[in-house]
Amino acid sequence: MLSKYLYLLSLASLPVFLRKRAAPVAPSKPSVAPVEPSKPIEPSIPPVVAPVEPSTPPPVVVAPIEPPKGGPPPFVPEPEKTAEEKELVSKVKALVAKSYEGDTRKAFDAYAGPDGEIDEDELSALLSDADVGNALTRGFWVSGIISKLDKSGNGKISWSEFETVSK
């Protein structure tokens, strides 16, 4: 116990002990004399350059590009089909080949209503016959197909809209 007390006491008195014994430090003089230049250094002056005004380029006139008249439209590659789109096309083509002797127009007319267009219920029947999707997913198939094919915006698929994917 006494040794612990002495150890703590020595730690507490250490800074005081160092202050009593430390000798004052005298300021040191530089060992090397500063070098004085023999002639004054003159700052270099950059050359004066007159500002150059940017020249304005002439305006560019772009004429609209028009497709050639009477000729075929320019080639635009179709985007790659997804696996679902490939499945849909192959199953509908198989149904048309099996049940309608490969006649796409005959198949369209068989599912189209009296108005000559395929609505949601008629498209659902076509998908069911082609074995696309199931009872739970067929509604999603129908809404996706109509949103992609219906260019007129009436919620139905006309023959011209159907014909674009049946080729």
**CATH number of the domain where residue 91 is located:** 1.10.238.10
5 falls within a domain: no
Q: Are the beta carbons of 113 and 128 closer than 8 angstroms?
A: no
Backbone φ and ψ for 4, nearest 5 degrees, come out as -65, -40
Strand partners, 118: 157
The count of domains in the chain is: 1
| Domain housing 119 | 83-166
Q: Return mean pLDDT, the chain.
A: 75
CA distance 162 to 167: 9
Q: Bigger pLDDT: 25 or 109? A: 109
20 falls within a domain: no
124 falls within a domain: yes
Does the pLDDT value for residue 120 go beyond 80? yes
C-alpha separations of 129 from 38, 46, 70, 155 in Å: 106, 87, 42, 21
% pLDDT > 70, the chain: 52
CA distance 64 to 84: 38
12 falls within a domain: no
In whole angstroms, what separates CA 88 from the centre of its chain? 28
The pTM of the whole model exceeds 0.85: no
